[in-house]
Amino acid sequence: MRYIFHCDLNNFYASVECNENPSLRGKPVAVCGSEEDRHGIVLAKNYIAKNYGIKTGDTIWQAKQKCPGIVCVTANHSLYLKYSRLVRQTYYDYTDRIEPFGIDEAWLDMTGSVKNFSEAENLASELRKRVREELGVTISVGVSFCKVFAKLGSDYKKPDATTIITPENFKEIVWPLPASDLLYVGRATAEKLQKLNIKTIGELANFDADLLHYHLGKVGTMLQTFARGEQVEEVRRFCEHSEIKSVGNSLTYYKDVVSREDISALFMLLAESVIARMKSYGFVRARNISISITDNNLQTFSKMMKMNPVCGTANALAGYAIQLFDKCFTYSSKIRALGIHVSDFCEGEQVSFYEPQTARQKQENIENAVEKLRGRFGRNSVQRAIMLTDEKLKNISIIDDHVVTPSFKEHPDNYSAVSPI
């Protein structure tokens, strides 16, 4: 029997802000992006704000309409990262088998520390108390025999609570929950399950396996395994380098993007950031690219494809991003934000003996030389001509606000397959 904890920091961003600034306690608080830079949406809120109907993704003006007295605080990501590391350090006092799931969640394998679920519950209570008293924020802990049910447990009762899900009680606790509560069931998958008249996790667990596979493929089989409590995946030890399975960046621009020139410039900016970071982690090339597009109605969608040949330069990555963009976007609305992610890293590739590699190698050599200059004289000391078309664009250094996405956080609904170019 394994004893898996899933620890989830409650209202993390808002809790950190209230802990750092005690005058915010007892008030409705929303952590928001910068209005000046058009990131003006609610990223997180405390429970008081939640009671007013404020949701993550609301614009600031919507939040103020719902709650005129709300206090809006600009997000401070470096502070949240600091707290995340402090909390994780507390986890290390109990186990070295820790698998982060974003900045505010983690699985812990406590099998070596407890002998039964009663001891596990006591240990979870001790852990919650330490985080609350030593760091001033709270966690909810789900305890179970598999990772999926442990995560459901941390969501089951909030804030600052422990939920125990055992082989004996999981059907009573888990199966009545909506199917959309299950890990990796996003909006698109939930809609497919709804069409099959699958509303709860229990109905998913007991659905005809062949029919489910016919409609959802291997994702359906995986989800049914989760619903039945048959997941056997272990908690993986955290190692910063090995856990990085994808690297990406996104940018919300200060104005609506409507021209191809602006799109090309933004993709080039993003590509340089992504390639620079990819190589800083020791990766040479990547096989997969995904782009995300957010329009001015805050609707976001993503597309993914394999790059052939594999990509190791910003110039090539931007080219792939633009081609993928042309395949999936029709300019039916204005664009607010763009993003690029790369994954499936590799050292090189098998190529034909007759294929000329000179041009690609020259491009890599040029970009490597430019990165050395930037490392010595500053990020913006050497810029592409396309960046000079916009005064604000040439002064942006988004490499300092990067996003690193471990593959286990990825979601079957996040991407739609596109044929390789």
Is the peptide bond prior to 412 cis by the omega test (within 30 degrees of 0)? no
Mean pLDDT of 23-38: 82
Question: Is 105 among the residues known to form the active site?
Answer: yes
The more confidently predicted of residues 13 and 298 is 13
Q: Name the CATH superfamily for 243-417.
A: DNA polymerase, Y-family, little finger domain (3.30.1490.100)
Mean pLDDT of 281-291: 86
Catalytic residue, from 105, 364, 367, 371: name it.
105
Question: What Rg, from alpha-carbon coordinates, does the chain have?
Answer: 23
pLDDT digits (tens, 9 = 90+) for 124-149: 999 999 999 999 999 999 999 999 99
- Which long-range contacts does 122-130 make (Cβ < 8 Å, 24+ apart)? 123/94, 124/5, 124/162, 125/162, 127/5, 127/7, 127/90, 127/91, 127/94, 128/160, 128/161, 128/162, 130/90
Residue 381 clears pLDDT 60, i.e. is over it:
no
Mean pLDDT of 258-264: 81
Q: Which of 65-74, 277-286, 333-342 has the lowest mean pLDDT?
A: 277-286
Cα angle: 211, vertex 212, 217; to 5 degrees: 110
Question: What's the one-letter identity of residue 291?
Answer: I
Mean pLDDT of 287-301: 84
- What pLDDT is recorded for position 288? 93
Handedness of CA 365, 371, 377, 382 (dihedral sign): positive
The more confidently predicted of residues 6 and 406 is 6
The more confidently predicted of residues 161 and 77 is 161
Instruction: Output the pTM of the full model.
Output: 0.64
- What pLDDT is recorded for position 370? 63
Q: How far apart are CA 1 and CA 117, in angstroms?
A: 10
Residues 10, 160 contacting (CB under 8 angstroms): yes
121: its two tokens = 């519950």
Q: What is the mean pLDDT of the chain?
A: 82
pLDDT digits (tens, 9 = 90+) for 299-331: 778 888 999 888 888 889 999 999 999 887 766
Q: Which of 272-281, 295-304, 345-354, 362-371 has the lowest mean pLDDT?
A: 345-354
DSSP assignment string, 258-283: -SHHHHHHHHHHHHHHHHHHHHHTT-
Residue 24 clears pLDDT 60, i.e. is over it:
yes
Phi, psi dihedrals of residue 72, rounded to the nearest 5°: -100, 125
Residues 268, 370 contacting (CB under 8 angstroms): no
The neighbour count for residue 67, using CB atoms within 10 Å, is: 19
- What pLDDT is recorded for position 367? 64
